[in-house]
Structure 1
Amino acid sequence: MDPAKTEQPEPTVCHVVAMPYPGRSHINAMMNLCKLMASKTADILIGFVVTEEWLGFISSEPKPPAKIRFATVPNCIPSEVSRGKDFPGFMNAVNTKMEVHFEELLDRLQQPVKAIVADTHLVDYIPVYPIGPAIPYLELEEKNASIANSINGVNYLQWLDSQPPCSVLYISMGSFLSVSNAQMDEIIGVIRDSGVRSLWVSRGETGWSNDCSGDMSLVVPWCNQLKVLCHSSIGGFWTHCGWNSTLEAVFAGVPMLTYPIFWDQVPISKHIVEDWKIGWKVKKDVGVLTRREISELVKRFVDKKSDEMNAMRQRAKELQKSSRRAIAKGGSSDANLDAFIRNISEDHGH
């Protein structure tokens, strides 16, 4: 049989380019969205654009589906390592220096681009599609992930398995800005002395890991946050109120202690505490919370017999149901994503 006669023409592929803002939480959210898009249809190819520096950062992470391919622009902006020292300057560089390199990349692509999915933090005078939340819930279905759950020889999910239900306070201050050394000293002291079980995520630049580790606490440089938040032993989340972290906590149905540090984290904290009523604020507008103040707040927060906390946990579970309805088949988030893919696929190639 002539092989040439049996070959099938390759299907027409809808080519999409994804451009996240060059920050950890934004890259994570965009990658989650791209994975969801790739899971919806076989006839899609996604070019995921990052700086050369960021490609180096994420090259050791699990590879995305084959339909998602990385592309890079030069390191024309300040390094991620130092961007916190001059954040306004970093943002200005992103909005003034990346555009020309991104356009050059588009010109080099052989396959026509049907759509550009851009982060709203980038200057982008084109229509915006309401898609989200981009929660990495597909990862919850992954099997045989025990190696990925081990850090420095310690499997943090197994450690959580050994803890009583709703007993562990998960603490993460985000991937960018952090609290002052004085306030961190107070937080460390009260958690260590309070008897509250805790799982901490430390980015590695602080020297307090040994002060917090012990039978009641575990400190790791990284974890699969959604898996942790959905674990039955987690009773609360001390968070900086980044949007990704907030949505993941809502998805998991976990109450929050809010510690906003900067920018949109302040109004997000308000949503959690005042609007949704699924958390308490653990930060003064001015000054440093004392060890006694934090201790009293944390102990009240993990009290399983508290009517106030039980009511808060119930509200968190109700919000969780709404979140999961949105991503379920036919839910608002699922329908919006289907509509977007259908819109860009209907006439691609014309």
Structure 2
Amino acid sequence: MAPPTPAERAAEQHPAHRRTPSDVRRWRRYLADERAEAAVYRDLARRRTGEERAILLALAEAEKRHEQHWLDLLGDDVGKPLKGDWRTRMLGFLARRFGGVFVLALAQRAESRSAYGDEKFATATMAADEQIHEEVVRGLATRGRNRLSGTFRAAVFGANDGLVSNLALVLGIGASGVPTGTILLTGLAGLLAGALSMAAGEYVSVRSQRELLEASTPDPDADRALPHLDVDANELALVYRARGMAAEEAQAHADEVLARLGAAGPVSVTDPVAGHVPADPGPAADADEHETHGTAWGAAVSSFLFFASGAIVPVVPYLLGLEGAQAVLVACVLVGVALVVTGAITGLLSGTSPVTRALRQLAIGFGAAAVTYLLGLLFGTTVA
């Protein structure tokens, strides 16, 4: 006789006469969610190849095992198929049409919401599976986040800086009671000043990082000195010691390089066999690589445009001829929508809740604007 399935064991622990209509409804909901999640992973797999595709298909197969568990428990009560949770259905819609890191980030959060840990009819294995699925999807999403260009991240953060700083500037100046033309001129001046400052800072930052890396790169002209080194002194060992080798290891390496030089022709100081590269360069090396991606001029221009794209939003009502409270209200609404969007994107990129990050961006942006608005009111009253 075949051993009982996990679902049958769960049913034995909770006999059928204890099954309530509430249990059946809940199991049917779990069944619908498992089917929807499996469909999401299959849709994502269609947009990928190689290892990522295989991983996503394996996740879909695991969800199918969970689906079978609820089918076994429901038996004749399985009824007409239900639709999955609205969040899972939305995730499926995005997976079919877009895919990408944003959908994976949402899938990661969906896995974290599993209720199996508190569900007496779910097995411990199923609850553990869901926790591991979250880590698998986190790994796939991290791959996608790492592939995102620095330019895209700069777009989100640069636009957000422009939104907050120029809204605060426009509201602060407007609250002081100055004419609408002055507010418009101030907003445009703030846009240009901030965008130019961002561009200059980005240019200096990227250029400096590139120059630092260039200064740390071994000079290939040093190879020409190898044949003329004093074999007895062997100062080549100092090069390897400076790169992090212990004294004895550096001396042995240097001897090996000079021996190969005499026996087999030219070798290089920068040759990875002769030189010494630390086994784990650490996060600093990765940071340098990402910071110096692209040219300094490209980074400067993109930063200028990203900041300006955010800073223009609070100025739009004044460009359209609105005045007073009406202009302030429209500016706040436009900036609020933009802050919610950039906050949600930032949340997805960082793997946190998009809603939480959107609300936080909104609170920070409007908090800064409120402070400058109150200062503007105070300044206007003082002058009057």
Q: Structure with the greater relative contact order (CA < 8 A, sep ≥ 6): 1 or 2?
A: 2
TM-score normalized by the length of structure 2: 0.21
Structure number with the higher strand fraction is 1
Q: 1 or 2, which has the higher helix percentage?
A: 2
